Amino acid sequence: MRAHFKHNIRSYSGKLGNVVFYNYFNHQLCLVRKFGVSKATEAKENMKSIFLHINDLYWASAEAYREDLSSYAKRNAMENMARNPSLRRRMPNSKTLFSQCMWKWAEENPETVDLKTVTLDDMRSVDSPVCRVCTCVTAGYLKKVTGWEQMNKSI
């Protein structure tokens, strides 16, 4: 259902009672749905454990590596944001970029990479492209930004 607001309010995002409002296209379209809690399934528990493990890997990585990812995220937000205002989205932060790179690495190597059990030592031993930001860019996991060649701190 499409929501209509009065008094020059274009859109709203959030929950009000048993109704959820969410917007698309940079607050140009607001949709409404009933709030419902989804059922717990095995696939959702699997995804939860993978995301929690990736989060633990991110925080266990070296501080210099996380600083490289953070500076990459800032440069990416400046250089690769959509020019059209209606297509602009919030750019990913460093932890999101790390998660995206891990998923892309696992897609390329499904027989050897298990995101539930992979460790930082495993990643270093197979010389994973995720171990450095510059190798993520050369592998095609991340877009090129200014100075990506100097982001070579190891995980």
Mean pLDDT in residue range 14-29: 70
Mean pLDDT in residue range 125-134: 92
Task: Quote the pLDDT of residue 22.
Answer: 73
| Tokens 């993520």 -> residue | 136
Q: Is the pLDDT of residue 20 over 90?
A: no
Domain boundaries, the chain: 59-150
Mean pLDDT in residue range 136-144: 93
Partners of 153 in the β-ladder: none
Mean pLDDT in residue range 94-105: 94
> Rounded CA gap, 45 and 93, in Å?
24
> Rounded CA gap, 2 and 33, in Å?
9
Q: Token pair for residue 123?
A: 């990643």
Under 8 Å between Cβ of 97 and 133: no
Task: Provide the whole-model pTM.
Answer: 0.77
Tens of pLDDT, residue by residue over 53-98, are 999 999 999 999 999 999 999 999 888 877 766 666 778 899 999 9
Phi, psi of 71 (to 5 degrees): -65, -35
Task: Quote the pLDDT of residue 4.
Answer: 57
Q: Cα 74 from chain centroid?
A: 14
Mean pLDDT in residue range 107-119: 91
